[in-house]
Amino acid sequence: MNSLKRHLALIIPLLALLFGLESILLVNRAISIHEQKLTENYSIVIASKEELSLPKVQSFIPEASELRVIPTDRLTNDLKKDISKSALDSLQKELPYFYSLKLLDFPNQKRLDKINAALLKINGVTKVESFAKAHSQVYKLLLIIKGSVVIFSVLSAVLSCLLMVKQIEVWKFEHIERMQIMSFLGAPSWMRNSILFKLAIIDSLIATIIGTVVLVYFKDSQLASSIAQTLEVNLNIIKVWGDSLVLLFLSIIISLVSVFFVIIKQKDL
């Protein structure tokens, strides 16, 4: 029972740490998906008295990817019944050219303001409409979630690392007599502290296995489906096996670093 408690004292902080890391991975993937969707669906409408070309626009906006003419036929057809032909012809001559501009990526508000200002500097451009607010609501929500998750994960990681270091110090105290005997016999530092490295690696493996099981269960749960639907993403962002390998690598590295910290702290190297 005491042995189980000693292992849980390291496994639980590791699980909290892995949970925070996985949360950051998932939120980053969700944001990347939304950035791609926004880029595909988002466009800026430009009104210009002169004809525009994509190369000309790109000289002002390097990230411009597509410039498409918006036909005005529908507008003039709707007015045919209300005004005379001569008035309609005069109106068509006065109508500006309308264009739909697509970008390589979805800009933040600061960059969008610069894009609007740059477009208005093009000769003939009289009006620019970006529709940014309508397209960025979900994106801003995800950024808020990302910020909250990162803050929570950092705090959780700091607390977890402190708890891990304390538990490794307990392990070291429990095996201090063995280490002292090995030191008297001239054993190198890595050999004297090998039990600490061994326990840290074993607990990292156990924590990763538990985390993988939880991740598999979560992916198939109704809660995951509900969250994915709310964020407008699919469950493919949960990459169980790929993430498990990443988490295993990180958990081992963090555990070993914690052991090294304890050894250096107590001047045993």
Does 263 lie in the same domain as 214?
yes
> What pLDDT band is residue 190 in, cutting at 50, 70 and 90?
low
Name the residue range of residue 52's domain: 43-131
Count of structural domains, the chain = 2
How many C-beta atoms surround the C-beta of residue 30 within 10 A? 21
Q: Distances from the Cα of 104 to the Cαs of 65, 119, 125, 204, in angstroms?
A: 6, 16, 21, 42
Q: Is the pLDDT of residue 206 over 80?
A: yes
Does 259 lie in the same domain as 144?
yes
Q: Domain ends where: 109, 131, 153? A: 131
Give the mean pLDDT of the chain: 82
> What pLDDT band is residue 134 in, cutting at 50, 70 and 90?
low
Does 168 lie in the same domain as 54?
no
The predicted-structure confidence for 159-187, as pLDDT tens digits, reads as follows 888 888 888 888 888 777 777 777 676 67
Report DSSP letters for 197-243, one per residue: HHHHHHHHHHHHHHHHHHHHHHHTSHHHHHHHHHTT--GGG--HHHH
Helices (H), 42-131: 54-58, 73-79, 85-94, 109-120
Contact between 48 and 124 under an 8 Å Cβ cutoff? The reply is yes
Does 170 lie in the same domain as 57?
no
Of 164 and 141, the structure prediction assigns the larger pLDDT to 164
> What pLDDT band is residue 210 in, cutting at 50, 70 and 90?
very high
Return the bridge partners of 101, or none: 44, 67
3-state secondary structure (DSSP) of residue 127: strand
The predicted-structure confidence for 73-99, as pLDDT tens digits, reads as follows 665 665 566 665 665 566 666 778 889
> What pLDDT band is residue 3 in, cutting at 50, 70 and 90?
low
Does 209 lie in the same domain as 159?
yes
Question: According to the model, what pLDDT value does residue 1 have?
Answer: 56
Q: Could you tell me which of 160, 198, 210 has the C-alpha nearest to residue 10? A: 160
Does 14 lie in the same domain as 52?
no
Q: Which of 17-21, 134-138, 194-198 has the lowest mean pLDDT?
A: 134-138
Q: CA-to-CA distance for 22 and 16, rounded, in angstroms?
A: 10
Does 165 lie in the same domain as 188?
yes
> What pLDDT band is residue 204 in, cutting at 50, 70 and 90?
very high
Helices 132-174 and 2-41, axial angle in degrees (round to 10): 160
Does 157 lie in the same domain as 31?
yes
Does 107 lie in the same domain as 77?
yes
CB burial of 92-114 (b: ≥16 within 10 Å; e: otherwise) equals eeeeebbbebbbeebbeeeebee
**Torsion 75-80-83-89 (CA) sign:** positive
Does 18 lie in the same domain as 91?
no
Q: Domain ends where: 131, 161, 182? A: 131
Does 145 lie in the same domain as 111?
no
Q: Domain ends where: 106, 131, 156? A: 131
Does 115 lie in the same domain as 243?
no
**pLDDT over 90 percentage in the chain:** 22
Q: Is the pLDDT of residue 268 over 90?
A: no
The predicted-structure confidence for 49-80, as pLDDT tens digits, reads as follows 888 999 999 999 999 999 998 887 665 665 56
Q: CA-to-CA distance for 27 and 14, rounded, in angstroms?
A: 20
